[in-house]
Amino acid sequence: MKSYLLITMLVFVSVFSEAQEKEILDTIYANDQKNVALFFSNPIRQGVTGADHFIFTYNREKEQYFGLLQAQPGKESNLLIINNNGSVFSYIVRYKEALSKLNYFIPLSNAIGNEKPIKDKLTTTKTEEWSFNASLYYERFCSYLVKRKQNIGRLKNRNDGIVLTVENIVFDKEELYFVIQIENRSSLDYDVNFLNLSIDTRKKGKKKSLQSLYQEPVYKHMLPTKISKKQTVRLVYVVPKFSISNERSVVLELNENNGERNVKLKISNDYINNPN
């Protein structure tokens, strides 16, 4: 999956690249005994390898000018790096037992292009550009999330063989990504009526009541209309970033069409306010 993500990102970049005819693709060697350092003229915003036996580490919280590459024995792969100015760098990476070079000082001229599209004021409005780019970004990042290992803890509820799980909550840019799994352990197919995300608030006082505020996703990834018997599906809901107080909680509600196997999953404010 990671290889697919890299390939599609490169295709997208090349469409808008101002320097396609000048594309540079070098090979960088690494091993599991030493760190290979890559220094750039601008801080690193994103770095992704195409295979698990290559690891590229960089400061994700505070942007810095360098990253470290290590490798385990295996087939060659690729490394994609995007700086905070949008410059894109692409390299073939290979494992090598004996390394002759441990430090790479990479000038801006080695970039293969820029992730930002060339603006065409005659045919495209800024709103159209953002809408297209956002949808493409959501699709690719969600595809990556459903394939990766999740580590948020146990957020699960079930009803009559239908198991609803939130596997991860990830914060990226200005959105929260809810990685959701629905498992149909029953012997009957499950027709999805809706899957809603809402914020519930309990009002205090003599007459206690529950107020629910629906959260409209900006993007839904792989939401099925039917889940066959013994089938498990994974999907992602993308919603604008928010935080909640102790008196509030998020409720994920799965509702069956023409059925009663409905599942509600309550998510406390700790998970919402401290996403991955």
pLDDT of 203 reads 63
Q: Are the CB atoms for 169 and 178 separated by under 8 Å?
A: yes
Q: With a cut of 50, list the residues of the chain below it in pLDDT.
A: 1-5, 7-8, 10-24, 118, 120-132
From the options 3.40.1800, 3.40.50, 1.10.730, 2.60.40, give the CATH code of 2-118: 2.60.40
pLDDT of 18 reads 42
CA 235 – CA 214 distance, rounded (Å) = 19
pLDDT of 11 reads 42
Give strand ranges (E) for the chain: 26-30, 36-40, 44-49, 54-57, 66-71, 77-83, 87-95, 103-106, 113-114, 156-159, 162-172, 175-184, 190-203, 209-214, 219-221, 226-227, 232-240, 248-256, 263-267
CATH for 156-273? Answer: 2.60.40.1150
pLDDT of 173 reads 84
- Do 156-273 and 2-118 fall under one CATH topology? yes
Q: Which of 200, 169, 176, 201 is nearest to 264 (CA)?
A: 200
Helices (H), the chain: 2-16, 126-147, 269-273
Tell me the domain boundaries of the chain.
2-118, 156-273
Whole-model pTM: value is 0.53
The single-letter code of the amino acid at 108 is L
